[in-house]
Amino acid sequence: MSTHSIDQSTAPTPQQQSVEVKGSAIHGVLVGLIPLGLLAGVVLIVVVITALARELTAGGGFYVQQQAALITLIVGLVLAIVVFAIACWRVLRQVALWQKAGVAVQAAATLWTLGFTALVIISPILLALLLPQHPAP
């Protein structure tokens, strides 16, 4: 058996290459959604903890409930920012490794997904700025 036949038998066919490209793009999209998923998870946990804190302090009056809710929401906001920043940093580090390795499709899909994530996060702020709360008479 010659080396020419071995190279032809182990070379991927065009159909196999397209499946690998699609798989790597899907993997890139999923990796790019990690920061958004972690952020959503932290927000859900913080909302539940805030509701529990309000229920536990219900007998103390309005100001006690307000303090408990404020403290849990501030701690949750700081935690969400830290978790999101670390997740984005790790994803961008992975993208840099993929780009060095020549896996451009996966890296591009991840970067596009991170851009979408940024758009999702900033959209409520943009809506609040662009849509008036009390229209003029």
Could you tell me which residue, 95 or 14, shows the higher pLDDT?
A: 95
- Residue 72: count of CB within 10 angstroms of its CB: 19
Which letter does DSSP use for residue 33 in this model? T
Work out the widest C-alpha separation in the chain, in whole angstroms: 87
73-102 tens-digit pLDDT: 999 999 999 999 999 999 999 999 999 998
Lookup: tokens for 87? 């997740």
At 90, phi and psi to the nearest 5? -70, -40
Enter the pTM of the model: 0.77
Instruction: Give, rounded to a whole angstrom, the gap between the first and last alpha carbons of the chain.
Output: 87
Task: Please check whether residue 31 is in contact with residue 107, taking contact to mean a CB–CB distance below 8 angstroms.
Answer: no
H-assigned helices in 33-103: 34-56, 62-101
Of 39, 40, 29, 41, the C-alpha closest to 95 is 29
34-76 tens-digit pLDDT: 999 999 999 999 999 999 999 999 888 899 999 999 999 999 9
Please tell me the predicted confidence (pLDDT) of residue 9.
53
Indicate the domain borders of the chain: 32-129
Task: Please check whether residue 44 is in contact with residue 80, taking contact to mean a CB–CB distance below 8 angstroms.
Answer: no
